[in-house]
Amino acid sequence: MADEAPPAGALRLESLSVGPLGPIDLRVEPGEIVALSGASGSGKSRLLRAIADLDAHGGVAALGDTAQDALPAHRWRRAVMLLPAESLWWADTVGEHFPDGRVPEPAALGLDAGVAGWEVARLSSGEKQRLALLRVLARRPRCLLLDEPSANLDEAATQRVETLVGDYVRDASVPALWVSHDPAQIARVASRHLRIGGSGLEVAG
Amino acid sequence: MTLIDLSWWQLALAAGLVVALAGLAHVARLGMSGSLLVAGLRTAVQLSLIGVVLEALFSVATLGWVALMAAVMLAMAGREVVARQKRPLAGWWGAGIGTASMFVSSFAVTVLTLVVIVGPTPWYEPQYAIPMLGMMLGNTMTGVALGLDRLTDTVWRQRALIETRLMLGERWQEAVADARRDATRSGLIPIVNSMAAAGVVSLPGMMTGQILSGTPPGLAVKYQILIMFTITAGTGFGTLVAVSAASRRLFDGRERLRVDRLRPVKR
């Protein structure tokens, strides 16, 4: 596809509102991971969906100088990519979900080198979760919205996910929002921790 | 060639068979006897009424009346398309997309066939126009209804999957492509199957009717082939148009999946 250069830079939310949440103002710098927590049902996922422009919302979201509505929605989402808590797969084999059918760096998450040829139906839930993250990173997004990316993983796999995401965020210099419930994880990966309280975000920890 | 007349008691005998079937269904507790009888009654009443209407229409035979009849048939077909869907598009869209696509395909193909191929004078001669449009609409309606039902139901069930594809930056056309292909296929399967089985497994209704009324089989076959092809074209184009338009309606300007545009299933 003949795309111009994708937008890049800091993620900015200005007076963003979705459902009972908002108005929310937030700035996440390139290379920074901001952790987001809150009681279940507080609207974390809805906030991420609004930033990815999957739900109608008020206010402004922008990446660098590029506002959300300045781009066709699919190009915005290609830049600002949401990894949902539950991963779903539409084709039979793993590779079909990846650009050019290649799974980059499977070993980084402890996966077999031949994983691209595996059948989706035979994947464990942990494998699916890790592959869903690789599926996102393979598309080289310019901003990451991660909804509990290590919720069902054991300690070793969780650590690998944290390392992989941390490396990507730093090397590609992209902003990231990371929803997590685990205070220890938040302390490990994030430079700031925000909690959803009532209708807005408050600084936690 | 004289036609053998059917008297009312002979029809009553045939009706008796349906009543007997309903009785058996009742005894076997199939829960079908009521709807069987109602449907049978509807057949008798609706066909008797249309018989009267057609006799009147044939005797007048002006373009205005033929067009009015065609419009009524189209409206009924549009209603039926919505009724056959589990989750049609809400508001006027459900009926609108179905009706518009049937109008475009059925009317275009029927008029084309009348004017260019069959060529009665005048071209709207109701004896040709109305039965042809009826067959066209009946089949197109089935295709459109099956296609739309499959599309809306698949999109509803796979909404999370489609959104996953949107999240990964796919265009709405890519995200809905599988559902759309399935839906178009299921709309076209009946007509493809009936073409494949025509003459071998089934003797198509129109041909049978023409032969019964004394048309030489050779001519009846030609008409049947013509009708089969035009029905296929009408059904195919109608289904394609309907499924494409409905797919578009399921996404908004920001390429968000809008399952809220489907009518909720009543419980």
* pLDDT, tens digit, 9 for 90 and up, residues A129-144: 999 999 999 999 999 9
Q: Contact, B228 vs B132, CB < 8 A?
A: no
Neighbouring C-beta atoms of residue B151, cutoff 10 Å:
28
A78 contacts on B by Cβ (under 8 Å): 168-169
Q: Does residue A136 fall inside a structural domain? A: no
Rounded alpha-carbon distances, angstroms, from residue A93 to A60, A128, B175: 38, 12, 17
Q: Does residue A121 fall inside a structural domain? A: no
Q: Does residue A37 fall inside a structural domain? A: yes
Query: The domain spanning residue A31 has which CATH number?
Result: 3.40.50.300
pLDDT at B2: 67
Rounded alpha-carbon distances, angstroms, from residue A124 to A83, A142, B37, B236: 18, 29, 53, 42
Give the SS3 label for residue B147.
helix
A73 contacts on B by Cβ (under 8 Å): 166, 254-256
Cα of B257 to nearest chain A Cα, Å: 8
B165 contacts on A by Cβ (under 8 Å): 90
Tell me which residues of chain A have a C-beta less than 8 Å from any C-beta of chain B.
52-56, 69, 72-75, 77-79, 81-84, 86-90, 135-136, 139, 141
Q: Does residue A104 fall inside a structural domain? A: no
Cα of B263 to nearest chain A Cα, Å: 19
> B181: which residues sit within 8 A by CB, 6+ positions away?
none
ipTM: 0.94
Q: Which residue of A has its CA nearest to B175?
A: A90
Mean pLDDT of all residues belonging to chain A: 92
Q: Does residue A127 fall inside a structural domain? A: no
Sign of CA dihedral B212, B213, B214, B216: negative
pLDDT digits (tens, 9 = 90+) for A63-94: 999 999 999 999 999 999 999 999 999 999 99
Do the chains contact at B170 and A135, CB–CB below 8 Å? no
Option in A52, A73, A90 nearest B165 (CB): A90
pLDDT at B3: 74
A77 contacts on B by Cβ (under 8 Å): 166-169
Domain count, chain A: 1
Q: Does residue A67 fall inside a structural domain? A: yes
Please work out, in degrees rounded to the nearest 5, the angle formed at the alpha carbon of residue B244 by the alpha carbons of B239 and B247.
Answer: 120
B256 contacts on A by Cβ (under 8 Å): 53-56, 73
Over 50: is that where the pLDDT of A1 sits? no
Tell me the one-letter amino acid at B89: L
pLDDT at A2: 44
pLDDT along chain B (267 residues), means of 10: 79 92 90 88 92 92 92 93 92 93 93 90 91 92 95 96 96 96 95 87 83 90 90 94 96 95 82
Q: Does residue A71 fall inside a structural domain? A: yes
Do the chains contact at B167 and A77, CB–CB below 8 Å? yes
B140 phi/psi in degrees, rounded to 5: -60, -40
Option in B161, B166, B257 nearest A77 (CB): B166
Domain containing A21 equals 11-88+142-203
pLDDT at A39: 86
pLDDT at A84: 95
A69 contacts on B by Cβ (under 8 Å): 254
Option in A54, A89, A90 nearest B167 (CB): A54
Over 80: is that where the pLDDT of A31 sits? yes
How large is the average pLDDT for residues A154-183? 95
Do the chains contact at B168 and A84, CB–CB below 8 Å? no
Q: Does residue A115 fall inside a structural domain? A: no
Q: Could you tell me the end-to-end alpha-carbon distance of chain A, in angstroms, rounded to an integer? A: 44
Over 70: is that where the pLDDT of A205 sits? no
Over 90: is that where the pLDDT of A4 sits? no
Count contacts between A and B (CB, < 8 Å): 54
pLDDT at B267: 59
